[in-house]
Amino acid sequence: MLELLLTSFPAVIRYYQLKRRGEAMTVWNMRTAMFLWAFLAFFLFLAIFYFHPKSYSGLLPFRTVSVVAQTSGPVTELAVQNWQRVAAGDLLFRIENSKQRAALKQAEAEFDKIAAAEVKAADTVKVAQANVVMASASLDKLKGDLENAQTLLARNSGSRETLRLAESSFAVGEASLAGAQAQLNLAQADISQSLPAQRKAAEAALESAKAALAMTEVRSFTDGIITQLAMSEGSPASTLILSPAMVIIPDRPEKLPLRITAGFSQVTRTTLYEGMPAEISCDTNIGLSFSNTVLPARVRYVQPAISTGQIIPGGRLVDLDERVRRGSLLVYLELEHKEQEKLMLDGTGCLVQTYTTNLSGFTGHLIAATGVIKAVGLRLKVWGSLIAGIGLAGGGGH
């Protein structure tokens, strides 16, 4: 509408010329003016809609956190209610935990058994050491007896039978010493290897029991607001992500900039650029005062791929006839003034108007100036949607 008014001056001038001359206005004597009007309107429309693309699909996306239990059982305590604000680490609900507590007690009892085994092993080492000392002393005595028997036999004062008995006793003494030493090594191996391994296994079992018990207390992993809570004490806790116990709407991270997404027509790829100025008007920001309704923003990122072109390997070949619909060019925008982020409601739909200002020369300045028409049109659209009460909904990007 504004474009037609701005380019109608040739027809207006021709009309007043004919009026001064007293001539009647006909199609024939208005043909040049009308042709010039159509020519100017065409190029103005082309410049405005090509260099200042608009999208009706603006959206402030957000994610929710589904709360599910990691173990099954009836709920014994519900610590929150709908619309309650929670912080990370706050208790949400507890699940019946008698089985887990029993497993924890059993794991703790294993440490008492290991401690007793360590004391017994220490005593066993002492006994084995004493046996080694006794066997060593007995072997020294038997060695002396053997040497005496050999000396007496050499002097023809002893018998060979006595020598054989001494040799047999000495061999038995050596075997006894070897057996005592083996018992000592076995007891020391228990202390240095077996018992530490058993202690580590018991520690792992204890940690596992503690983790299983901790799973019976479901806590929040983020700051946010509880919603869609429909469980009560005695309800079975679900471990399925498709059946959450409740949903948390998380708070926006303070350091992460708020980004509005919008889908533009693919033909705007050569026009959109990072840093491009834009204006955003969202349904939830419209008010009679028109204050904070149209917010300045900038294009921060243009996604380098069209989502509908993504192909995932499957059991059959992709038929491109099923992908006739053209996808949109995804664009991320950020508000110019960070304090205005508090005005934005998660999930709100927005109308996004961009303006080309990076062209040089007289033509570039002229094209940038035509953005005023789009800016006025955006505000008229906002007022119209406010009066009609239908919001900023529209079809596609232009």
Under a CB-based contact definition with an 8 Å cutoff, are residues 199 and 121 in contact? no
The stretches of 190-231 forming alpha helices (DSSP H) are: 195-214
Strand partners, 59: 261, 349
SS3 assignment, position 26: coil
Residue 61, phi-psi category: left (phi > 0), alpha (psi -120 to 50), beta (remainder) = beta
Alpha-carbon distance 164 to 162, whole Å?
A: 6
SS3 assignment, position 210: helix
Determine the residue type at 352. V
Alpha-carbon distance 103 to 97, whole Å?
A: 10
pLDDT of 145: 67
Alpha-carbon distance 227 to 175, whole Å?
A: 79
| Count of C-beta atoms within a 10 Å radius of residue 227 | 13
Whole-structure pTM over 0.75, yes or no?
no
Alpha-carbon distances, residue 42 vs 27, 45, 46, 230, 370 (angstroms) = 20, 5, 6, 59, 14
Q: Report the chain's C-alpha Rg in angstroms.
A: 45
pLDDT of 265: 93
pLDDT of 395: 41
Please list, in sequence order, all residues whose beta carbon lies within 8 angstroms of the beta carbon of residue 290, skipping any fewer than 6 positions away. Answer: 379, 382, 383
Per-residue pLDDT of the chain (398 residues; tens, 9 = 90+): 555 555 565 666 766 676 777 777 776 667 777 777 677 777 777 778 889 999 999 999 999 999 999 998 999 999 999 999 999 999 999 999 999 899 989 888 887 888 887 777 787 777 777 877 787 877 777 777 667 767 766 677 666 777 678 777 778 777 877 887 888 788 777 777 777 787 888 888 889 999 999 999 999 999 999 999 988 898 888 888 888 999 999 998 888 889 999 999 999 999 999 999 999 999 888 877 788 899 999 999 999 999 888 888 888 888 888 777 888 999 999 999 989 998 999 999 999 999 999 999 988 888 898 888 889 888 888 888 877 766 676 443 44
Under a CB-based contact definition with an 8 Å cutoff, are residues 82 and 231 in contact? no
pLDDT of 269: 93
What's the DSSP call for residue 27?
A: T
Alpha-carbon distance 204 to 396, whole Å?
A: 58
